[in-house]
Amino acid sequence: MQQTNNISYVDKFVLLGLVSTPALQKVLFVVFSAIYIMTILGNLTVILIIRLDLDLHKPMYFFLANLAFLELFYTTSTTPNTLKNFLQEKRTISFVGCFTQMFFFIGLGSSVCVLLAVMAYDRYVAICQPLTYSALMTPVFCIRLTLVSWSFGFFNAFVQTVYTSTLPFCKDHVIHHFFCDIPSLIKLSCSDTDANALVSILVRACVLIGSFILTFISYIFILIAVFKIPTVTGRQKVFTTCGSHIIVVILFFGTAIITYMLPVSSSFNDYKKVLSVVYGVLTPLVNPLIYSFRNTDFQKAITKRINPRQIQALE
């Protein structure tokens, strides 16, 4: 703490973490370590297979590779520090370290939000406008959509991080969370934070809810198109592909939106922590499983790398 005019200003924070029981912390360390390792391996596999297999050099898989890349660093922005805190009593994080973590967590998470909307749009064009798909979803256009995702995500992170970091933190220095999150930090400020909270909500709603609405609209049109398909086989094929995408969307957007809609009250801290684990730790693990490993073309690409003779026999 730094003393200025009899007021103590915070130069570091203490993260309370998920649990306080030492035995449970060790159990969670093992669980989170396993999840983190599987997340890294799963997303790296997605990126490598898509990069190496020419048959997967299509818009859908280009976006999947970008999603896997984002998820790698998204989970890395919080999980390693959480694992470290499971094993030690002193859970301090510096002021700079806290806001650096916040910037990358918000930036990468927001980019994932926008990219999921982009991927839903890609599926909409492929299913509802198949004749114009190749002409519209060109490599240049796909790169632009990806850059838009990153730009929106990190602009959101920049605005919120800078705006929050300028607050005077001279009250408590204990964050009731396992990572540096804006609502938890705003509560620690000794100034009037109404304006900060309003800006944070508006910017977050623009990215999070805006992306969700665009994704939702795309899938509404997709469902309408699916019901017009005359054959049962055709409908099942589309449902299999898009159904898995919808699961990811509900899991990620649903938990994130609920977390930030819950009242700023200590009685909701535990619920927020659990929901944060879902969209911050579990979805980066689930995404490659649902989007890629359940995909027939992706399974074929993996088999081609592991056992090329089997593919040749099938062909």
Q: How many helices (H) and strands (E) does the chain have?
A: 13, 5
**pLDDT tens digits, one per residue of 266-292:** 556 777 788 888 888 888 888 877 777
Q: Do 142 and 133 meet the contact criterion of CB atoms below 8 Å apart?
A: no
Range of 182-186, 265-269, 294-298 with top mean pLDDT: 182-186
2 pLDDT above the threshold of 80 = no
Task: Give residue 20's pLDDT.
Answer: 79
pLDDT higher than 90, residue 8: no
Out of 122-126, 223-227, 298-302, the most confident range is 122-126
Mean pLDDT of 195-208: 77
Distance CA 119, CA 152 (A): 15
The residue among 95, 131, 264, 114 whose CA lies nearest residue 194 is: 264
What CATH code would you report for 2-314?
Answer: 1.20.1070.10
pLDDT of residue 83: 92
Residue-wise DSSP of 101-154: HHHHHHHHHHHHHHHHHHHHHHHHHHHH-GGGHHHHS-HHHHHHHHHHHHHHHH
The pair of structure tokens assigned to 261 is: 């809609």
Window from 24-33, 72-81, 116-125, 190-199 with minimum mean pLDDT: 190-199
Which carries the bigger pLDDT value, residue 9 or residue 295? 295
**197 or 176: which leads in pLDDT:** 176
CA distance 97 to 95: 5
Low-confidence winner among 74-83, 85-94, 115-124 (lowest mean pLDDT): 85-94
CA dist 214 and 86 (Å) reads 38
Tokens representing 252?
């990620």
The SS3 call for residue 12 is strand
